[in-house]
Structure formats: C-alpha cells, structure tokens
Amino acid sequence: MNVSKNPQSGFSLVELLVAVLILAVGLLGLAQLQITAMKTNSQSATSTAATALAQKVVEEIAAMNGDDPMFDGPGSGTWASPVTGSPVTVAGAGTYVITYDVTQVQAAGVDVTNVRRIEITVTSTSDVMHVLGNQTREAKAFTLKRAI
C-alpha cells in the first residue's frame, strides 16, 4: 500500500525543534553582540572623558601667566615630584585623578632657557568597563610653556 503525504500536512515535531534550536543559537549570538556593543560604548565614553580632562588642563596651563610659581624651576620645590589634583567626577564616565609633572626642556643636552615641558596624566580612580575586561583608563597630554 502506497501512502502519500497530504500537501496540507504541517511540520513534524523534530523539524520544529531543529528550527527553534537554530533560532535560539542566533538569538544568543545577538545577545553577546549587544553586550559587546554596550562595553564598547562605555569604553568610548571613558576614553573621551579622560582625553577631554587632559585637554582642559592643557588649556588652563596655556592661560596661566609665565610667572606662576608652578614654572619657577628646579630647587624651588615645585618640581620635586608630580603634582596630583583632587578627583574629578564626570557624569556617566567615572572619577579621574589629574597629575602633572613640570620639567625643564632640553635640546641637544642643553637646557632651553625659560621653557618648561608639562606632562598631564589623567587616570581613572577605579577600573572602568572595557571590551577586554575592566581596566584602569589613562590619558596623557603634553604641552610646552614659556616661563618668565
């Protein structure tokens, strides 16, 4: 006896289970992609905040007078070690500590008169979200300033 399949018949239970399994694997991949996208956005926000803080300090130093005690020179005590400021909190991007270090500029091993090199370092106070795991965020900026 020949039994033919009715064209009106639906899917078998096995076919349905395979289709649901394939859909579930695809949705798990999308969920992981969403998590990675959120981490990348957070990483971008913290990187932008740290860089913006460093740029802000560079602009503040550029606006300072050249006779500020910060630029006095070695032996005055201001160059003994890097100066650390109080923590700065950026909404949605964390809390950062700004450190700057003033040094005498040298060219060919000779001090350049009245020119200082300022290195600004902005460091997060805690680990921030990163694609490769939580890490401390750090941004550096450099500027030159003529002292009087």
Share of the chain above pLDDT 70, in %: 83
Taking the complete model, does pTM exceed 0.75, yes or no?
no
Helix (H) or strand (E) holding 47: helix 13-63
pLDDT digits (tens, 9 = 90+) for 22-70: 999 999 999 999 988 888 888 888 888 889 888 988 898 888 887 877 7
Residues recorded for the chain: 148
Q: Are strands 110-124 and 94-107 parallel, antiparallel or unpaired?
A: antiparallel
Residue 7's pLDDT band (cuts 50, 70, 90)? low
Instruction: Assign 3-state DSSP to the chain and report helix, strand, coil percentages, each to 5.
Output: 35, 30, 35
Segment 93-116 mean pLDDT: 83
Buried b (16+ CB within 10 A) or exposed e, 99-109: bbebeeeeeee
